[in-house]
Structure 1
């Protein structure tokens, strides 16, 4: 199965003269393996012992994923990697049995490392210094005594800067979930008298209906007086009044990729002249930035274009 992301990663790591790679961050394991590594949350976050790991050859085609058994089946369905090695973290049908999550993780990691066939050969192993657990480093040194660790973080970031066609499709799909939420916000704010709880419920319900399954949502909806300052952490029990501002800042994660957008609506009333002025400035600034966001342009060039659009309305950006 074609995996352009893995091919790009291998090419980037070859520049480091790496022989193998062992990736440990949620985002980079998702990138190379095509398995949407879950965000650790709830009981499983406390029961799990080690992260999902991606072990693959840089100079050869072998590839392995290491995941707890609650994740392993989904990983097998999604990934392009050769093999998924699962390990137990909770014996739910033997509640009085000794729980061996650390031992199980270590055994699975040893199995994966031995499958590489490296043994005592001298190799350079590309790793992520930000996320590699100490236990993983210890076991790698025991199984591969002549290993040399190479920090791969910068090379991975460079490999991911230009998106593949597959990634662009996934980003568009995630962005459409945001679009659905903001369209629903437009609908539910046509009249006042609704609580932030009800607004948030309506937004997330439409998002889940659109996706047709479970996915992760971060963000908040903030209405009324709280908009006078930066007030994250909504919703609360506040009931909207005519003329209130509703701000929705929402970030869904779908198939391992995030979308993020903030927008505002005037609730149950006609916008004032100053509100219209700010809205028009924001719109013109956005389109000025989009027009400038082309290959060869710098981030400062895009900022200058968006800032100039604000200036035309007597406003200052930043």
Structure 2
């Protein structure tokens, strides 16, 4: 059976060692991971199986994690992980959507096998895939264990990317550029929004001649006309009018590594007032970028952006950026670093951010979204996309 792994085994070993070091600092014997990005990060596993129970069990006293999934999906784990056969377990299908049997009880039995009956166990209490039922069933099956919140333990390790990961992020950025280019080419009066979305999706999945793309962690956002009042709208089947605004966010994805970027497209000539409004947002974005370098706190980047807006009597309180990397549904951010007023996290080389200081003012009646994904370098930053930071106008 062919193994499909995109990183050397030594890189996976280093990631696991760092995770275990953090576990030991927190006094954890076992770490249970249900979040797909964290499972992927530590094992390479990539298959669309997270809609059913799955768990990666990391024990301090074992050299490899144990991955537990639905039995029918065990072959995917054999292909997409380095794990030994005995460390890939599958539960029978009668557990799937059962009202009488819990797959988490099956998983708890594996935890007992590695000494978890009385262990200190870390779990992802804030994870998208760790439900209240999951926790209740695990606690019931392991009554003598001590459960502690270890949410984001691996996420914070993931924020600094290795050289191999940065290569994939740069490739994802190139796919995102191609998606934006396709959107701009396609956006014309009379084109249905759904056809525009389909063209962008095609570009996302086909990627570039040198390498292909993949599905993203959510949807591309198509905020057209009145829907540009908010940042996360989907498309409709309406034709684009002769004059309208499109705030579009696309997500280039390369082997699960994801890069986000947004642009505002104006169909028809914008007013001078709106053009000036867009220029202010872009000026603020560029000022923030000039502040990005290792050793700076996230709050300093936010302050540089806010200083530009203050000159024009504009205030933005929401965050203007976040960390990104491995992307699985439902979100592409790593749920760690944010660029905002009170964020004291210090920027480090290898971090990847989406600097996204879009403006939605006057209850959304004025909006613009020109953004820049980037990686932190030793001396500053390098853009992950090269699409010009300008308001796109199609007359």
The two structures have a TM-score, normalised by structure 2, of: 0.64
Distance 1:170-1:72 versus aligned 2 partners, 3 A rule:
farther
The DSSP-based 3-state class of the residue aligned with 2:206 is helix
Shift of 1:84: 1.6
Tell me the equivalent position of 2:227. Answer: 226
Tell me the equivalent position of 2:286. Answer: 287
* Contact kept? 1:72, 1:85, Cα under 8 Å: yes
* Contact kept? 1:85, 1:108, Cα under 8 Å: no
Distance 1:254-1:80 versus aligned 2 partners, 3 A rule:
same
Q: Distance in 2 between matches of 1:9 and 1:31?
A: 11
Q: Distance in 2 between matches of 1:119 and 1:232?
A: 42
- Deviation per CA, 1:158-198: give whole Å up to 9, x if none: 43343333443343333333322211111112x32211111
- Deviation per CA, 1:5-56: give whole Å up to 9, x if none: 322211111101222222223333233222236375xxxx4xx3x2x20112
* Contact kept? 1:26, 1:37, Cα under 8 Å: no
Tell me the equivalent position of 2:307. Answer: 308
Shift of 1:105: 3.1
The DSSP-based 3-state class of the residue aligned with 1:28 is helix
Q: Is 1:148 matched up with 2:152?
A: no
Q: Is 1:124 matched up with 2:120?
A: yes
Equivalent residue runs for 1:21-36 within 5 Å? 21-36=31-46
Q: Distance in 1 between matches of 2:168 and 2:281?
A: 27
Distance 1:71-1:174 versus aligned 2 partners, 3 A rule:
farther
Q: Distance in 1 between matches of 2:155 and 2:116?
A: 29
* Contact kept? 1:87, 1:104, Cα under 8 Å: no
* Contact kept? 1:26, 1:39, Cα under 8 Å: no
Which consecutive unaligned segments of at least 5 residues does structure 2 have? 1-8, 317-395
Q: Distance in 2 between matches of 1:88 and 1:212?
A: 34
> Structure 1 or 2: larger strand share?
2
* Contact kept? 1:37, 1:256, Cα under 8 Å: no
Tell me the equivalent position of 2:141. Answer: 139
Q: Distance in 1 between matches of 2:15 and 2:47?
A: 15
* Contact kept? 1:29, 1:37, Cα under 8 Å: no
Distance 1:86-1:254 versus aligned 2 partners, 3 A rule:
farther
- Deviation per CA, 1:228-265: give whole Å up to 9, x if none: x2274331132222332122123465544443332111
Distance 1:36-1:289 versus aligned 2 partners, 3 A rule:
farther
Q: Distance in 1 between matches of 2:32 and 2:45?
A: 15
The DSSP-based 3-state class of the residue aligned with 1:239 is coil
Q: Distance in 1 between matches of 2:272 and 2:166?
A: 38
> Structure 1 or 2: larger helix share?
1
- Deviation per CA, 1:263-309: give whole Å up to 9, x if none: 11112x34443343233333332232222222221122101112233
The DSSP-based 3-state class of the residue aligned with 2:195 is helix
Q: Is 1:66 matched up with 2:68?
A: yes
Highest CA radius of gyration, 1 or 2?
Answer: 1
Equivalent residue runs for 1:138-177 within 5 Å? 138-141=140-143, 145=144, 147-153=145-151, 155-177=153-175
2:90 to 67, 86, 91: 86
Tell me the equivalent position of 1:94. Answer: none
The two structures have a TM-score, normalised by structure 1, of: 0.77
